[in-house]
């Protein structure tokens, strides 16, 4: 790398002249030597050399280490120190300036050339590495990704990029132990996260990927996607290092949940729809058959609803439907599944509920509705069928039983509850 420009900072004129001559002889461009730290900083600012040979012990207010600190921060020029001897504290401070080498005075030609060449080459490589890191950081930023690196033996997870921000910390690098990382995982997601990680560490899966809720410093939960791969194992095959990326997927999860709700919800009343109820009933029937737990179904139909639409219009009819749905939801338990079955028909699937408990709930709804008249329309009544699931009964048989009960109420004059067992 001859032809590069070198600045010599040396307060011994004889040594400076000798170094200058050697550099010229080997094809470098050697600038006029300077003797103080202040002059060194000024020369670098004015002439932008490719490397500085810096004496540590300089006369004047600014010694070589202080000058090197300024040059490294402001100009990114590599420094090779010249020293005959120095105090331990001074050498330690010199190390903090990330020098590219040390030369012991008097300097031999072969040592000078080798050190300068290696320093220049290393600076080129460092520059390329920084550029690559900058491009990677930009790519990660553009993709909203963070990097994580788990040193298993040291029990240290180092995180860069958005990860720190995901945890509510300042941007930049973050270090935490594996145990600390686990404490940020939602308790309901922890087992699945551990299983996925264990499967990859045991070489059962080609990579590690999981989605879970992450707790920020402000106690908010966000969804993240974590993906990684073991990149180093010991001779026995035990994992030593795992690296990967992390991404905030909260918005995606929010949209997925919104789409899921739209797919299973009646848009007018906000109640669940028929398709969702059938899915839940299949699951709950299987559970009842395994554990012999009570499960009840309530079906109700709005009395004379066609008359409401014909008299007051469909817009007023929609208000009634939404009002009934809101009143029912206010009185149902968290575990009850409230469904618009179709038109003016509604269902309530009551888990862990026997017939007597379901009847009490049905009567509560019937009474509350009679006592809550709608403007212009007045009081609304409902016809209700209530039935408890029978062992080994099919879903269709159960639905037919409750439907028949509602129609029985209609035939008997409406506005009451039927729960008598029907013949198959």
- Of residues 248 and 300, which shows the higher confidence score? 300
- Tell me the DSSP string of 253-314: HHHHHHHHHHHHB-TTT--B-HHHHHHHHHHHHHHHHHH---EEEEEEEETTHHHHHHHH-H
The string of pLDDT tens digits covering residues 363-388 is 999 999 999 999 889 999 999 999 99
User: Tokens for 165?
Assistant: 């921000």
pLDDT tens for residues 290-324?
888 999 999 999 999 999 999 999 999 999 999 99
What pLDDT, on the 0 to 100 scale, is given for residue 24? Answer: 93
Say whether 184 sits in a helix, a strand or coil: coil
DSSP 3-state of 292: coil
| For residue 258, pLDDT beyond 80 | yes
Give the integer Cα–Cα distance in Å for 54 and 188.
60
pLDDT at 424: 42
397-411 pLDDT, tens digit per residue, is 999 999 999 999 999
Instruction: Look at residue 176 and tell me whether its pLDDT is greater than 60.
Output: yes
Domain spans of the chain, in order of start: 5-136, 144-253, 265-418
pLDDT in the model for residue 312: 93
pLDDT confidence of 169, banded at 50, 70, 90? Answer: low
Check pLDDT > 80 for residue 334. Answer: yes
When computed from its CA atoms, the radius of gyration of the chain, rounded to whole angstroms, is 39
Q: Predicted confidence band at 88 (pLDDT cuts at 50, 70, 90)?
A: low
* Closest-CA residue to 365 (of 376, 380, 354, 378): 380
pLDDT at 85: 63
Q: State residue 8 phi and psi, 5-degree precision.
A: -100, 130
Q: Evaluate whether 78 touches 123 at the Cβ level (below 8 Å).
A: yes
pLDDT at 147: 84
DSSP label of 309: H
pLDDT at position 171 = 58
- The yes-or-no verdict on residue 55 having pLDDT over 70 is yes
The single-letter DSSP state of residue 272 is B
Range with top average pLDDT, 212-221, 342-351, 414-423:
342-351
What CATH number does domain 5-136 carry, 3.90.25.10, 1.10.132.20, 3.40.50.2300, 3.20.20.70?
A: 3.40.50.2300
pLDDT digits (tens, 9 = 90+) for 184-202: 999 999 999 999 999 999 9
Q: What are 6-41's pLDDT values in tens digits?
A: 999 999 999 999 999 999 999 999 999 999 999 999
Most confident of 13-22, 95-104, 152-161: 13-22
Tell me which long-range contacts 184-190 makes (C-beta under 8 A, separation of at least 24). Answer: 184/214, 184/215, 185/212, 185/213, 185/214, 185/215, 186/212, 186/213, 186/214, 186/215, 186/221, 188/213, 189/213
Residue of higher predicted confidence among 160 and 119: 119
Q: Give the pLDDT score at 15.
A: 93
Q: What is the pLDDT of residue 3?
A: 82
* pTM assigned to the model: 0.57
Out of 136-145, 249-258, 316-325, pick the least confident: 136-145
Strand runs (DSSP E) across 145-192, as ranges? 145-151, 156-160, 174-176
Query: Which CATH class name applies to 144-253?
Result: alpha beta
Q: Which of 355, 356, 381 is nearest to 367 (CA)?
A: 381
Q: Which CATH class, in words, describes the domain spanning 265-418?
A: alpha beta
Q: Please tell me the predicted confidence (pLDDT) of residue 87.
A: 60
What does the pLDDT read at residue 175? 84
Cα 195 to Cα 18: distance, rounded to the nearest angstrom: 67
What confidence score (pLDDT) does residue 421 get?
A: 54
Model pLDDT, residue 219: 75
Report the pLDDT value the prediction gives residue 143, as an integer from 0 to 100: 65
pLDDT of residue 94: 66
Counting Cβ atoms within 10 Å, is residue 333 exposed (0-12), middle (13-18) or buried (19+)? exposed
163 neighbors 176 (Cβ within 8 angstroms)? no
Rank 46-50, 56-60, 130-134 by mean pLDDT and report only the highest: 46-50
Contact 165, 180 (CB under 8 A): no
On the question of pLDDT at 57 being above 60, the answer is: yes
**pLDDT tens digits for 212-242?**
999 887 778 999 999 999 999 999 999 999 9
The pLDDT, as a whole number, for residue 127 is: 86
| Whether the domain at 5-136 and the domain at 144-253 fall into the same CATH topology | no
């Amino acid at each position: 790398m001859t032809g590069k420009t070198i600045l010599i900072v040396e307060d011994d004129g004889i040594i400076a002249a000798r170094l200058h001559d050697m550099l010229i002889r080997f094809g470098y461009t050697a600038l006029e030597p300077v003797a103080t730290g202040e002059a060194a900083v000024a020369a670098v600012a004015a002439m932008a050399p490719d490397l500085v040979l810096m004496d540590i012990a300089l006369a004047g207010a600014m010694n070589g280490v202080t000058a090197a600190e300024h040059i490294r921060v402001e100009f990114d020029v590599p420094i090779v120190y010249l020293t005959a001897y120095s105090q331990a504290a001074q050498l330690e401070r010199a190390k903090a300036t990330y020098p590219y080498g040390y030369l012991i005075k008097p300097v031999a030609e072969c040592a000078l050339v080798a050190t300068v060449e290696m320093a220049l080459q290393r600076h080129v490589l460092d520059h390329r590495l920084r550029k690559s890191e900058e491009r990677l950081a930009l790519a990660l930023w553009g993709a909203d990704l963070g990097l994580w690196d788990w040193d298993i033996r040291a029990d240290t997870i180092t995180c860069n990029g958005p990860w720190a921000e995901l945890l509510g910390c300042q941007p930049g690098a973050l270090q935490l132990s594996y145990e600390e990382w686990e404490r940020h995982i939602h308790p309901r997601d922890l087992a699945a996260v551990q299983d996925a990680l264990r499967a990859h560490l045991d070489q059962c899966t080609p990579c590690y990927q999981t989605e879970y809720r992450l707790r920020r410093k402000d106690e908010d939960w966000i969804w993240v996607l974590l993906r990684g791969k073991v990149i180093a194992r010991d001779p026995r095959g035990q994992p030593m290092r795992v690296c990967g990326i992390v991404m905030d997927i909260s918005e995606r999860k929010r949209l997925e949940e919104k789409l899921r709700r739209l797919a299973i919800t009646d848009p007018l009343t906000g109640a669940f729809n028929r398709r969702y109820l059938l899915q839940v009933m299949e699951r709950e029937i299987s559970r009842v058959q395994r554990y012999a737990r009570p499960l009840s179904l309530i079906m109700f139909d709005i009395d004379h609803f066609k008359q409401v639409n014909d008299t007051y219009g469909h817009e007023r009819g929609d208000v009634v439907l939404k009002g009934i749905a809101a009143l029912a939801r206010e009185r149902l338990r968290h575990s009850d599944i409230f469904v618009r079955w179709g038109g003016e028909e509604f269902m309530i699937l009551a888990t862990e509920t026997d017939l007597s408990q379901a009847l009490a709930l049905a009567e509560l709804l019937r009474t509350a509705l009679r006592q809550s008249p709608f403007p212009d329309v007045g009081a609304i009544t409902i016809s209700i069928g209530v039935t408890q699931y029978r062992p080994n009964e099919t879903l269709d048989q159960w639905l037919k039983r409750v439907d028949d009960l509602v129609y029985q109420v209609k035939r008997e004059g409406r506005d009451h509850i039927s729960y008598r067992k029907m013949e198959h």
